[in-house]
Structure 1
Amino acid sequence: MCDGPSADDTCRTLVESRGHFTAKNLPVGNETRRWYGTYRECLIGESEQQYPCASVTCRLCSIIRTDFDLSAQGKKLPIGAFGRAIYTSSSTNTADEFSANRVLNSTTKAMILADIVVGKPKIVHVDRPLMREAPRGYDSVMAKKGFFLAHDDIMIYSNDAIRPAYLVMYDV
């Protein structure tokens, strides 16, 4: 989908040049904001901890330190219904299902509001667990909630198409 160091103007511009989304009154690259739930193994955002921890297994801090990493998807959890991808949702409820706090003495959880370059999404209504990329001619995969799918998700198959915008901390 995109090649480059980050989901910046380069990625949006590349996807825009193929899809001409602004001509359809959409944002450049059909970019949108979506929720991403993950786990943390530290107290970032609580008490005195203001900076990411150094643990390579703390997914939240890894994203803050080095951005999203598709190669880390599916290592601790099974690969999802649409293969190894970065799963995002329009719903905080869905993102919350994937947010976990591995610090025993804390009730605070975290999720990320991310900017994603959707481009031209392939709309699907059933699982496709063997997917490794968006189908030819598409930039992402959009799962429509319905009879076979419980969530409305957009899956991104490129690190360059997503970047964290906001960190949201909340108590459960």
Structure 2
Amino acid sequence: MAAVVGGDFSRVLTAFRGTVGYLAPEWLAGVPVTPKVDVYSFGMVLLEIISGRRNSADVHSGTGSSGHVEYFPVRAIRKLHEGDVQTLMDPQLHGDFNLEEAKRVCRVACWCIQDNEDNRLTMIEVVQILEGLQEVGLPPMPRLLAAMTQSSDGAS
């Protein structure tokens, strides 16, 4: 970077950059960040690939006017725990996907978006799991997403 801007450039940018829905909680909390912030963002991108939609968009669950608005990552973890991953998949696939691979990708994505960075996978683990070299179990619902779920359930 220094070679691009010249040797006399001394300004340091202290503000974070990025799309809020893809930023790890520690970015927003202002605490020191680690490579795990990239793992979080990668998990959000995986969810976007799975669903064919942006994660920041709300998802209507339920039918008709009885449905409520739900943040897609919350829905993804909930559906993963319910064993209903196929409803998360991009509708443009028309059901043409390997369900076991879809479950694996969804599990990886949900482990990547844990709000506690110590609970997130490393990128080495992500690659090994996606390649089928390592197994991973069901992730817990991240506390922040669980709080979002409880507050939206209470508002209904």
TM-score, normalization by structure 2: 0.31
TM-score, normalization by structure 1: 0.29
Q: Which of these two proteins has the greater Rg computed from alpha carbons? A: 2
